[in-house]
Amino acid sequence: MMSLLSYFRSQRKNTARVAKERLQILVARERSQRDGPDYLPALQEELLQVIRKYVEVDNEAVQMHLDKDGDCEILELNITLPDQRHS
Amino acid sequence: MARIVVITSGKGGVGKTTTSAALATGLAKAGHRTAVVDFDVGLRNLDLVMGCERRVVYDFVNVINQEATLNQALIKDKRVPGLCILAASQTRDKDALTDDGVARVLKELSEDNDFIVCDSPAGIERGALMAMYHADEAIVVTNPEVSSVRDSDRVLGILSSKSRRAEEGREPIRERLLLTRYAAERVAQGDMLSVEDVQEILGIELLGVVPESKAVLNASNAGIPVILEEDTDAGQAYQDAVARFLGEERPYRFLDVQKKGLFGRLFGS
Whole-number Å distance between alpha carbons of B183 and B19: 17
Q: What is the ipTM of this complex?
A: 0.85
Of the pLDDT bands very low, low, confident and very high (cuts 50, 70, 90), residue A10 is low
Mark yes or no for CB contact A23/B191 under 8 Å.
Answer: no
Asked if the Cβ–Cβ distance from A31 to B190 is below 8 Å, we say no
Q: Do B190 and A30 touch (CB under 8 A)?
A: no
- Using a CB–CB cut-off of 8 Å, the residues of A that contact B are 12, 14-17, 19-20, 22-24, 26-27, 30-31, 34
Q: Which of B157, B187, B201 sits opposite A24 (nearest CB)?
A: B201
Phi-psi sector, B225: left (phi>0), alpha (psi -120 to 50), beta: beta
The CA distance from A5 to A11, in Å, is: 10
Amino acid at site B47: D
Give alpha helix (H) positions in chain B. Answer: 16-29, 46-50, 60-64, 70-73, 99-112, 126-133, 146-161, 164-167, 184-188, 195-202, 214-222, 233-245, 262-267
Report the distance separating Cα B142 and Cα B180, nearest Å. 6
Euclidean distance between CA atoms B223 and B240, whole angstroms: 21
Mean pLDDT in residue range B141-164: 95
How does pLDDT run across B68-121, given as a tens digit for each residue? 999 999 999 999 999 999 999 998 887 899 999 999 999 999 999 999 999 999
pLDDT of res. B266: 58
Say what the pLDDT of residue B269 is. Answer: 45
How far does the CA of residue A35 sit from the closest CA of chain B (Å)?
Answer: 8
Q: Evaluate if residue A63 carries a pLDDT over 90.
A: no
Contacts of A19 by beta carbon, 8 Å cutoff, 6+ apart: B145, B146, B193, B197
* Interface contact B191-A31, CB threshold 8 A: no
Residue A41 confidence (pLDDT) above 90: no
Distance CA B89, CA B38 (A): 9
Residues B226 and B238: their CA atoms lie apart, in Å, by: 8
The nearest alpha carbon in chain B to A32 belongs to B157
Q: What is the mean pLDDT of residues B157-177?
A: 93
How many CA atoms within 13 Å lie on the side-chain side of B135? 33
Residue A20 with chain B: CB contacts under 8 Å:
193, 197, 200-201
The side-by-side arrangement of strands in the sheet containing B3-8 is B75-76, B83-86, B34-38, B115-119, B3-8, B137-142, B174-182, B205-211
Chain A residues with CB-CB distance to B161 below 8 A: 34
Contact A16 B192 (CB under 8 A): yes
Note whether B163 and B177 are within 8 A (CB). Answer: no
- Mean pLDDT, to the nearest integer, of B247-257? 91
Tell me the chain B residues in contact with residue A16 when contact means C-beta distances shorter than 8 Å: 187, 190-194, 197
Q: Is a pLDDT exceeding 70 seen at residue B53?
A: yes
- CB-based contact A30 B150, cutoff 8 Å: yes
Averaged over A69-73, what is the pLDDT? 80
Pairing of strands A72-79, A62-69: antiparallel
Mean pLDDT, residues B236-252 taken together: 97
